[in-house]
Structure formats: structure tokens, C-alpha cells
Amino acid sequence: MDADDLTRRAFMKSLAASAAVAGFLGGTGAAAAGPAGAPAAGAITAGTGRRIAIREHHGAPAIMIGDQALPAIAYMTYLPHRGQYEDFAGAGYGVYSVACYFGDRGINSTSGIKPFRPGLWVGPGDYDFSAVDEDLARVVGAQPNALVILRVNLDVPQWWESRHPGELSVSADGGTLRQSFSSAVWRDEAGQALVALIRHIAASPYADNLIAYHLGAGQTEEWMYHGNRDRLPDYSEPHQRAFRSWLRRTYGSDAALRAAWHDPAVSLPTATVPDAAARTGDSARLFRDPDSEQQVIDYYRFHSYAAADAVVHFCRTVKKEVGDSALAGAFYGYIFETTHVDVGQHALHHILTSPYVEFLASPSSYIRRQPGNDWPYFSLTDSVKLHGKLWMSEADTRTHLTVGLSIAAPEVNPTGSVPGPYDTALWHGPDDPRITMSLLRNNLARAITNGAGLWWFDMWGGWYDDPEMMAFMAKARDLVAESLTADRRSTADVAVFADEASMAHFGYSRNHNQQFLYGQRLELGSMGTPYNIFHFQDLPDERTHDYSLYVFLNTVKVDRDLRRVVQRLRDRGKSFVWGHGAGWFGYGDTPGAGGVTDLTGVEMTTTEQAARLRVTTVESASAALAGIAPGTTFGTTSAVGAPLIHPTGGNGEVLATVEGTSTPGVVRVAHRLGGHSTYSVAPRMPPRLLRNAAKEAGAHVYVDSDDVVYASRRFVALHATSDGPRTIHLPSVAEVVTDAFARSRSPIARHTDRVTIECRQHETYLLRLEP
């Protein structure tokens, strides 16, 4: 052991004996502390026989054990032998995520990564749970009262594939890709293995430690189809049968199916998954044509449904076995991160309406994972909360201590000790420890202000092996616990909506949605005020009707009921921002510009050309363009197919034209009863344009700068894009404002609705507001 390690261990020993070690439920650093690994005074374990559930707590969902809220902050590593369990126990952590695997291959079927741990499903009805027991023993050895989320990868072992070749996912080229999500045999036999695992745990010394089962399958355990857009799954017989069953539930009769598909020969017993040529379609067109491509539209709706339904199936299996003694959840709902329809992540609504799925999770987005940017989640997280489920963030933030897998664990690296795919820049953190700390603070601040849980994901181990980081981890645990004692409701006045049902109506290219969904989050995150993000199908819910500004990103399929809701909101003086093509489908029998005009209130037309969605702002004194120089361009240079759906300019104020033309590209229309609608053919609408729209709509804006802001009623966070002072405008007067990351609670302001702080570029600040 070298001198640095001795220093770190001495630090951790002192930390374990400090007041930072709190009870797992409730309390913060003021709780009595004990030695590393010992429960704090008043700690409650899951084994007391109390019910474990997700319930609303102070305005947001929380893990409740009995009537007490559990701070949903945890630690996880893929490589337990390199983990920092003792360090996190010393920092007061009571919750840990532990991974186990049914199969004998790595989690990524493309990269060739090797298994992290031995598989437990060794033969028909034959299981070896020794690796699970060993890893649980390691955690409980560090923290005897640990509360464990067991992450279970349901992908099949190789012997199962040999035994059931007809149950495997089949790609367009005829190759196989592990199990089909639609395989009844897989669902049944993997379900039996899952029950065997649950019963083994229940009979083990760790029965009282388990609080949740986190179920995974598919590419990287995230319910994405293996092979997805590269190999076009799934042509297996189980998938074909499941597609026909879905069609039967959807259409009910051959006559209805034939009318929808415009095919007099098709029938419910003979309908098939469309071939590869039909699925890839005409790249020159922006949308699928329902008259000739309804089969493909239906298939892609089903394709995502099949993955989501597998999630529901296995969560149901867990809940039927454990009742209210443990939770069930999964990764799913990646509409913003995986915009391609072949991935299978566009049926979140099916999961949201299931009582068996209690929590959902994702990492932070991989879009520009750099300081100065928001790191949003993958999904419609406020709809997750709206449906009473908990969102968990997998904080796999690389640190200055992160090294490539060829160094950390060559035994699992696909290229051994030779640098390979897990040694690229994606797998390295910042060089500057200060930036590491700022990014970790940003991860924490986003979770606290959004009512989300998180686990620190120490993938290869050793990423947090530093006294300063571990001191922060103790502080983070305390802040999460503190947040559970305060009003956790969001203060956002901006609501953003995205639509899963629309995804199957776009052509095969993902360029349009990649920019309006994946890319636009960067600008939304930098508009100086927080936003909530919802599923379009939740717009009728009255709980979504109190916002000032509504932003609709990809809502091209809008039925009459949703149009009526939009009209009611318009009549209440609400304001809207509409993305390209909003309302194209769902107005009358024929898709077209008339549907866009009806929905947005902006007079529309089309130009039959490949849409180049890039615009240039005009010279204007409009408040909508305040602070934006004439000639500013934004959008994308990627072609997205014809038609270009653009305003005529006849009933509104032209703010920008399509680049290189006089064609109106961004138009703003005032509503008769107050509020306004802004339609943009271009994605990546800049933060200033969005902030101006929010201000005009009456939304509260915290800072008049392109900084990242998160806010709840108790906390306000700012991630600074540059050096200099920032005046943060609060929505109401706070009696006391303190620095939540500071050691003391000395006030930095009193009785005020604005706070000025001197910011350092790329630093994250968290203010505590005390009424």
C-alpha cells in the first residue's frame, strides 16, 4: 500500500466517524454516527416487514419504507472486486446496486465486451447463485444494513440458444441475435429462473437487504434490440405471431386491416413483418405514406410495444412473487436518446400505465458530455412522475481518475490489454479535478431539483478513489436526505412535449428527430429557466395545464381529442412553440399542411424539396428576437426529405427565413385571447429565442443568460457557461439563502427575491431557499 492510499484510508476512517454518516432513512449529518459499516442511530432496514412502495412525498415520488422516505442515492460498480463499498459505507450510504447475469456473454453484443461476472443460469432448471451470493456478501460485509437494488440481466446463455433456435431474434440477413423479446418460451423459462433467483435470495442471509429488482435485457441491458438499426430485427416466428396478435387487438377484423393497409389480400392470420426494403423506405420523403406504408407504420408501433411489453411481463413476474416487499423497474423510454425506430424504445406509455413497473432509469445523455452543457436524461421524466413512478439516474460520469478498460480490466476488455473501443475519449473524464467535481455536483443538483434518484456508477472501479470526491459523496447523501424534508415540487413554467406515436410516421432517416429531440435538449437546457418534459399523450391531464409556455418538438400525429386540448389551452392565453410538421397527420382523411395550420394557428404551405431545416433571422424590432443579431443562423444542414412544411407568412410576424431564400422559416402569431404561437421549420432553436418566448408567455426566468438552471421550491442550481457575476431572480422572496454545497449554513442573502453570485466558468452552484 503506497503513501497516497494510506492518506486516503486515513481520511475515510475519519469520515466514517464524523457526523456526515447519517441514518439511511430521513436524517442528515446531524444524526449520530458510528464506525464504517455500522447503521446510524435510527436506521431502518427493509427487513422490518414494512411495505416498500413508490409514493408521492412532498410533491414528488419517493421510495417509501413504511411511512419513511428513503434517500434514493446509491453506489454501483460492474467490477465488485474493484469497488469502493467500504468508502461509500463510510460516507453514510445505505443503498447499493448489485448486478447479476443469467447469460454467459457480455452486455454489448456489438462491441464484444466479455462478461463481468459468471452467469447464473447454467442449464435447464439449473442455477448457480454463487456469484450473486459472493457479491452480496461483499456489499453486506462493508455495510451490514445495506439496502440492495439487484440488477438482473435476463439475456440468455449460449446453451439456451442451442436448445431453442426458433426462439431467437432473427435479423433481416437471416442471422440470430439472442432471444426474441416476443418469445413466449423465453418469457416463461427466464421467468422461472427469475423466480428461482428471488426465492434463493428470500432464503438467504441477504433476504432483509433486498429492496428492488432492476430488470434488464437486450443491448447493454437497456431493452434495446440487439442489432437494432444495423441488422433490422426481428423476423423470428415468435415475433411474427406477436405482431399478428397485436394487429388483431388493434383492428379486430380482416376488413379493418385491409382498409388500413389498402391491401385486399392481407388478413390477420397472414400479415407479416415488412421486409427490409419496405422498412428503410424512400429516403427522399420526410414521412411515411399511410396509403402505401401503413404496414410499416404499424410494425414499428408494435416493434417498440414488444420490448415494452417484455418489461411489463418480467416486472409482473417479480411483483407477483415479492408483493410489496420489493420494487420492480427497468431501463426504458429513451425517446430523446435513441430516436431511431429500430431500437425499440418508443412505447413508454404502455409501461407508464402498468402497475407492475415502479421505477425507470437511464444514464445522463451522451450528447456533448462536456462542462458548460446540461446533461439531460433520456426520457419523458415528468410523465414518469405524473404516473406515480420514480425516475432514477445512472450517473456514469467519468472522472479524472477514469482509465480505459484495457488498463482497468483487460480480462473483460474485447481487445485485452490493447486499447480498443472502451479506451476512446468517450471513456475518459476531464483532466482537471475541479471539472470532475463540478460535473458531479451538476449530476446531483439535477437529480435533487427534478425529484429523481441516482446511483453513482463506478463502472470499472476506482473512479471516485479520492478524498475530495468521497467528501462530496457524503455531502451528496446528506443533501438528498435533506431534500426529502422539503417541498420537492418543480417551479418550471415551461413544459416540453414529445410524442412516441409520431415516431413511426417519419421516414427511416432519423435526421429530423435526431435534431428536434436529441439535439434540441442542449438549447432547452441553456435557456436560463427550468422546464418539465412530458409525453404528448399526457397533455389532456389537468396537471399539465398550469404552464405558461408549451414546446412541442415532434408532434406530427395529432388526433381530434388532442387538438381540442390544444385549443382549450390557447383559449386560456397559453403560448406555444411548434416544431417542423406539427399536426401533419390526424386532421381529416388526408395528411397535409391543413392539419398543421389547424393545430398551430400559423398559415402553412409546403414546398416539394428535400427539407434543409436551417434558417436565418431577419432584421426586426420584435421582442421575440431581442438580443439575437440579424443574420443569425440555426438548424441543421442534414437533409430530412421532402416536403418542407413552412409558413406562408400571411398571418404572422416573420422572424427568420429558410437559409438562402425568402421563404418564411420561423413565424410568430398572436392569439386572439392572449399568448402566441411560434412555428419553426428549424431545430436547435437557440436558448435566447426560447427564453424570449418564455418571457413573453409570462414564464419566470431565473437568469437572462445561456446558463443551465434547475429549480425546485427548495433548491436552485446554476451551471455557469462563463466567468462573471450572475443575478438569479427567484420566483418569490426567500427569507434565507444559503450555499448548499458549503460546510456551513451561513446566509449569503436574506429576505430577497434575487441573489447575485460571482461565477467561475463550468462551476456548479446550488442555492438552498428557506422560506
Judge residue 292's burial from the number of C-beta atoms within 10 Å of its C-beta, 0-12 exposed, 13-18 middle, 19 or more buried: middle
Give tens-digit pLDDT for 204-242.
999 999 999 999 999 999 999 999 888 999 999 999 999
Look at residue 497 and give its three-state secondary structure.
Answer: strand
At 136 the pLDDT is 98
- Please name the residue ranges forming H helices in 78-183: 85-90, 130-142, 158-163
How many whole angstroms separate alpha carbon 293 and alpha carbon 278? 8
> CB of 22 within 8 A of CB of 29?
yes
Question: Where do the structural domains in the chain lie, given as residue ranges?
Answer: 3-233+396-483, 494-697, 720-770
> CA 98, 370, 454: angle at the middle one, nearest 5?
25
DSSP assignment string, 581-614: TTT-BSSSSS-SHHHHHHHHSS-EEEE-S--EEE
At 771 the pLDDT is 79
Regions of the chain short of the pLDDT cut 50: 1-23, 27-44, 48
At 761 the pLDDT is 98
Backbone CA torsion sign across 638, 278, 345, 545: positive
How many whole angstroms separate alpha carbon 574 and alpha carbon 738? 34
At 229 the pLDDT is 84
* Sequence-separated (6 or more) residues with CB below 8 Å from residue 654: 618, 620, 647, 664, 666, 667
At 240 the pLDDT is 98
Give tens-digit pLDDT for 470-506.
999 999 999 999 999 999 999 999 999 999 999 999 9
> CB of 73 within 8 A of CB of 91?
no
At 610 the pLDDT is 77
C-alpha cell at 255: 376488413
At 24 the pLDDT is 56
C-alpha cell at 105: 456473454
How many whole angstroms separate alpha carbon 548 and alpha carbon 519? 23
At 542 the pLDDT is 98
Give tens-digit pLDDT for 696-740.
999 999 999 999 999 999 999 999 999 999 999 999 999 999 999
CATH topology of domain 494-697: Rossmann fold (3.40.50)
Which of 365, 417, 344, 354 is CA-nearest to residue 389? Answer: 354
